[in-house]
Structure 1
Amino acid sequence: MKIKNHSTFVELADEKDDILDFANFLEYQIPNKFKGQNVVLNLLDYKDLELPQLLSFLKVSNLHRKTKFSFVIVNDAINPDDIPFEMIVVPTLQEAEDIIEMEEIERDLGF
């Protein structure tokens, strides 16, 4: 797993080219190693990502967001209309950073 720290979030990316294995790995890693941090999951390398593969991250996304921290997935292969409303998926890293900024403002205001 590639880890890149930014000022307001940590960016994670897969090195093994196995999306389902990566999703299972993150279910353990996120709550234990990235607790208390906003997480951006960089899946831009997966140009042929399909919805069932994306949904393998739903559990870890929901669990992390319940802790009042952001979990944003970056990928542009899936039609945004097909993505469940519980998941935040954006096409660029800049948009992921913008989402995190907005969510932090909302949390500061008590939403």
Structure 2
Amino acid sequence: MSLLTLKIFESVLRNGNFLAASKENNCSQSSVSFHIKNLEEFLGVQLFEKTGRYLRPTAVVQEILPDIKVILDAYSSLEKFKFKEKELIGTLKVGFNDALVNDKLA
């Protein structure tokens, strides 16, 4: 099971369908289905029931959701830390074409 699998699971749960989750995660619907199936196999439970065109989370989802949120929040916190320590240092030079500058100033 991967972090991407958990992100896709959360996305399916929030959006209620594979299509929206696939668009949000820039992947195909079959990829979303693959990740959900892998998570179901890893946990040994069914996570969603299909009712028409919609997905309904099973009762087990409410049990595992807090743990999944903790994992995703911890990863998000670590990801923010990665960029926190980097500061921009140096000189920024911006060049303009004289014709554009004269045109805009007039």
Per the TM superposition, whether the score is higher than 0.5 is no
Higher Rg of the two aligned structures: 2
| Normalised TM-score (structure 2) | 0.29
Structure ranking higher in strand proportion: 1
| Normalised TM-score (structure 1) | 0.28
Q: Which has the higher contact order (CA 8 A, sep 6+)?
A: 1
